[in-house]
Copies of this chain bind each other. A is one copy, B any other.
Amino acid sequence: MKLHLDRSLKTPLYLQIRSQIRQLILANELPPGYRLPPERKLAASLGVNRTTVVNAYHELTADGLIQPHVGKGTIVSPAQTVQHFLNRLSNLDHSEVLGMPVQPISWQNFYTSQSERMHNPVLASILDEIGEEDQISFALGSPAGEYYPLNELNEICKEVMRPGNWKALEYGPTIGHYPLRQYLADWLSYRGINAQAQTILMTSGSQQGLDLLTKVFLEPGDYIVMEEPSFLGAIGVFKAAGAHILTIPLDEEGLRIDVLEQILSRHRPKFIYTLPTFQNPTGTTMSIGRRHELLRLAYQYHVPIVEDDPYSELYYENQPLSSLKSLDEHAHVIYLGTFSKMLFPGLRLGWCAAPLPVLEQLSLAKQHVDLHTSTTTQWIMTEFCTQGLLDKHLPLVRSQYKSQRDAMVSALTEFAPQGLSWTVPAGGYYLWCELPPGLKATALLTKAAEKKVNFVPGNAFYVNSGGKDRIRLCFCRHSETTIREGIFRLCGAVSELLNQPNHGGRILRPRFNEPLV
């Protein structure tokens, strides 16, 4: 029986002896009936006081693991007694074993500061209650599922999951399925972007692209620049990373270059995050002049640009302007794309096109994060795209969403009380509305919920305290009839609040039922 005492430990020696003998017994290295050395002898061999061993044996006896035996000194208890000890251990008897009650863990003391920063009251409204049937939601930024070509998709799934084709269910490369990256490279090239399969990383939605960029680029305290208002998912992930977010206001031509230039002359941000086309939430499109100016500043100050481009294919007037990525001649632009606003957000497929060294670093981060994006969904999307079904789907939704946008504008024109105004975007998903003076979006949210209509209050899109008098309405998810009904209800809620005394002051806790994307 070998024991090793460590006098540098805080654990008393008798407890060290008890613990080690207990382990030997439980491991059956000291089998039932085994005769333990006499106390005095063990004490001598360990160089400890005899009382130390006496105390250890006493504890082990109390545990039932050893027992005195006439003529043999002290022996290991029979197997069933040892088993009884184990059973007690597993039956809430830990306090007995430990000699003290087991304290519950105070988990919040274990969390990182990043984790604490995730407590954004809006982002905390988890994506957990899609589609309450009786509610008209203009909150969720989701495509309309009714237009999906499900017959075609069904055929594709049958083909992908055909007997013998188990490779579609296998692990895959971190960077993504090659044929899909090749398709996207061609698709982007057609849009003026110089991309190859090896500079495209498949991500689980563009939200993951933002998270990977954060992992690779942002230390707590780093500066970044973004438009305000902007996509709340980006604000959330950058804030959680502990970044200092410098905000640039928008005008009709997109982010204010003059403000950006002032900021860049004073700070060295890790990157400029922008949604130049059909911006979320404002619907603004950055003018071509501004795009060139933005690139010029990026070059001049050596600042990378992160271009988030989920909406550019959803144009309802003219073809969209050239992306920053397509205008970029000096590899300063990291481009995020996604299928989710065109169709099938539930597949969680987005991509990042970036200069090769950045792409390699993002891939390395992604390997740590989830190994790779689902092989199966990538194979399905590859078939869908290469059969021309994406290109076929886009004109359909452009036409439908345009009608829905116009239906929402008409309804607002018809029902809106004085003081409620809105933008008419040339593409994308959203109308950005300004409430009548004094009316708060959070108060309206409560009143609207009574009337079974929903939206996102404007403050969710602000890094700081702005947007309290703004709301975002998504026009993509519902039919024109439903949109009209929803706007009727919403305008009714606005009117009711306006007719209440002190309407601006009633701020109730909002309840979000749907993903705010």
Chain A residues in contact with chain B, CB under 8 A? 4, 6, 9-11, 19-20, 22-23, 25-27, 86, 89-92, 94, 97-98, 102-105, 107-108, 110-115, 118-119, 123-124, 126-131, 140, 142, 145-146, 148, 150-151, 153-154, 157-158, 160-175, 203-205, 207-208, 211, 215-219, 233, 236-237, 240, 253, 257-258, 261-262, 265-266, 270-271, 287-290, 292-293, 295-296, 299-300, 302, 304, 322, 327, 329-332, 340, 343-348, 355, 357-358, 361, 363-365, 367-377, 380, 515, 517
Contacts and interface: CB of A to CB of B under 8 A. Distances in A.
Nearest to A153: B161
A348 B371 contact: yes
- Residue among A112, A160, A368, A373 facing the most chain B CB atoms (10 A cut-off): A368
Given A107-B361, A127-B367, A127-B371, 6 more contacts: A94-B295, A110-B271, A112-B216, A346-B374, A374-B377, A376-B377
Contacts of A146: 166
A127 B216 CA distance: 19
A112 B218 contact: yes
Nearest to A322: B90
- Ordered nearest first, which 10 A-B pairs have the shortest CB separation? A26-B289, A145-B166, A346-B375, A128-B173, A157-B157, A89-B292, A169-B346, A204-B370, A208-B370, A169-B344
A26 B129 contact: no
Contacts of A363: 126
Contacts of A115: 215-217, 361, 364-365
A154 to B, nearest CB: 5
Contacts of A119: 364
B292 A126 contact: no
Contact of A357 (B108, B123, B344): B108
Given A330-B102, A368-B118, A107 B355 contact: yes
A163 B217 CA distance: 43
B217 A172 contact: no
Given A89-B296, A115-B216, A161-B157, A237 B173 contact: no
A131 B167 contact: yes
Given A94-B295, A150-B165, A171 B515 contact: yes
A346 B162 contact: no
Given A296-B94, A375-B346, A148 B166 contact: yes
Contacts of A219: 112-113
A207 B370 contact: yes
Contacts of A293: 19, 22-23, 26
Contacts of A118: 361, 364-365, 368
Contacts of A175: 126, 128
B127 A172 contact: yes
A365 B208 CA distance: 12
Contacts of A4: 258
A38 B203 CA distance: 55
A158 B161 CA distance: 10
A330 B100 CA distance: 13
15 contacts: A89-B296, A92-B329, A94-B329, A105-B331, A110-B270, A111-B217, A112-B217, A123-B368, A131-B170, A140-B171, A150-B161, A169-B346, A170-B345, A211-B369, A376-B377
B174 A126 contact: yes
B372 A237 contact: no
A215 B114 contact: yes
A224 B26 CA distance: 26
A103 B348 contact: no
Nearest to A126: B174
B27 A266 contact: no
Contacts of A124: 364
Contact of A348 (B154, B211, B372): B372
Contact of A19 (B91, B103, B233, B261): B261
Contacts of A174: 126-128
A182 B162 CA distance: 29
A262 B105 contact: no
Contacts of A103: 302
Contacts of A163: 150-151, 154
Contacts of A240: 368
- Residue among A10, A205, A299, A343 facing the most chain B CB atoms (10 A cut-off): A299
Contact of A112 (B104, B158, B164, B215): B215
Contacts of A203: 370
